[in-house]
Amino acid sequence: MDTFVQLTLTGLTNGMILALAALGFVLIYKASDVINFAQGEFLMIGAYMLYAAIVQIGLPWSLGVVVTLLVAVLLGVLVERLVLRPLIGEPIISVIMATIGLSSLLQAIVRMIWGSQPKAFPAFIPSTPVTLLGATIGADRLWAIAVAVVMMLLFAFFFQRSREGIAMRAVADDQQAAMSMGISVKKVFAWAWSIAAMTAAIAGALVANIIGVGPHLSHFGLRVFPVVILGGLDSIPGAIIGGIIIGLLEAYVGGYIGGGLNQVVSFIVLVVILMVRPYGLFGQEIIERV
């Protein structure tokens, strides 16, 4: 029983972080139909920025977080301006290839500045063990869950209530009709990329707090794929639930079966989902009026 609770909590943390990274991914896909292969690098950059702000510059961590978020927004806007805007009207596949290029570029920049050795991250969230339902878990993991939940609530509010959120969904639905109501598609894309970079940065900071900073953080980007395929590429609740399912699955498989199977189990899920339900659990089917 204790093992079960332990695994559940670990899985939940990982799942929440995966969900955060997946949110940005889904957002970009929803708004612009682009699959962003650089999402993992966004996450890594977020972690490195926080590292630079807190360790190398010596800012207090609260200020460090603000700086990191600002850099993330800037990154999103720059990507929109320099990579996406010149490709407007080009086939989607070119844009997707451009994001692959972008991911290599960001990798290279990070290795140029900080080297390829992983670095210890000053735990800005204390990892003192907490006992919960008979299981022991680091407080940092509980924090990660809390932060992720808050972020998701903010997301939900943003998309249901705010003007920019509605505009973003409108653009995702019908670009030209959105333009006809004065919504600037360019602005919406910039918003989408900025928010994606921001959530990725937060996810990056949470992961870094648990496992340290290093270029390997970008592998998290790859682990997002099973999550979004399971949840549905264009579904925000899907990203969250998919993240939790994949996180739990990996934890249980790792705990009860082991043997490195936890590393691949999510990709097995990915293949199965693609075969039986390619639009995922919550993906948008095309509405047809009869």
- The binding site for another protein (CB under 8 A) comprises 163, 166-167, 169-170, 172-184, 284, 287, 289
β-bridge partners, 129: 138
Least gap, CB of 250 to another protein (angstroms): 31
Helix, strand or coil, per DSSP, at residue 277: coil
Q: Work out the burial of residue 260: count CB atoms within 10 Å of its CB; fewer than 13 is exposed, 13-18 middle, 19 or more buried.
A: exposed
Let me know: does 156 contact 27? Beta carbons within 8 Å.
no
Question: Which residue lies nearer to another protein by CB, 62 or 176?
Answer: 176
Question: Which residue lies nearer to another protein by CB, 2 or 173?
Answer: 173
Least gap, CB of 128 to another protein (angstroms): 44
Question: Which residue lies nearer to another protein by CB, 2 or 174?
Answer: 174
Question: Which residue lies nearer to another protein by CB, 178 or 230?
Answer: 178
Least gap, CB of 273 to another protein (angstroms): 22
- What does the alpha-carbon distance between residue 75 and residue 193 come to, in Å, rounded to a whole number? 8
Exposure string (b/e) for 149-174, b if CB count within 10 Å is 16 or more? eebbeebeebbeeeeebebbebbbee
Question: Which residue lies nearer to another protein by CB, 32 or 68?
Answer: 32
Let me know: does 164 contact 55? Beta carbons within 8 Å.
no
Q: Work out the burial of residue 185: count CB atoms within 10 Å of its CB; fewer than 13 is exposed, 13-18 middle, 19 or more buried.
A: middle
Question: Which residue lies nearer to another protein by CB, 170 or 249?
Answer: 170
Question: Which residue lies nearer to another protein by CB, 117 or 180?
Answer: 180
Please state the φ and ψ torsions of residue 131, each to the nearest 5 degrees.
-100, 125
Least gap, CB of 184 to another protein (angstroms): 5
Let me know: does 262 contact 250? Beta carbons within 8 Å.
yes
Question: Which residue lies nearer to another protein by CB, 186 or 219?
Answer: 186
Least gap, CB of 288 to another protein (angstroms): 8
Least gap, CB of 274 to another protein (angstroms): 23
Least gap, CB of 172 to another protein (angstroms): 8
Helix, strand or coil, per DSSP, at residue 213: strand
Q: 95: alpha, beta or left, given left = phi > 0 and alpha = psi -120 to 50?
A: alpha
Let me know: does 242 contact 191? Beta carbons within 8 Å.
no
- What does the alpha-carbon distance between residue 138 and residue 140 come to, in Å, rounded to a whole number? 5
Least gap, CB of 289 to another protein (angstroms): 7
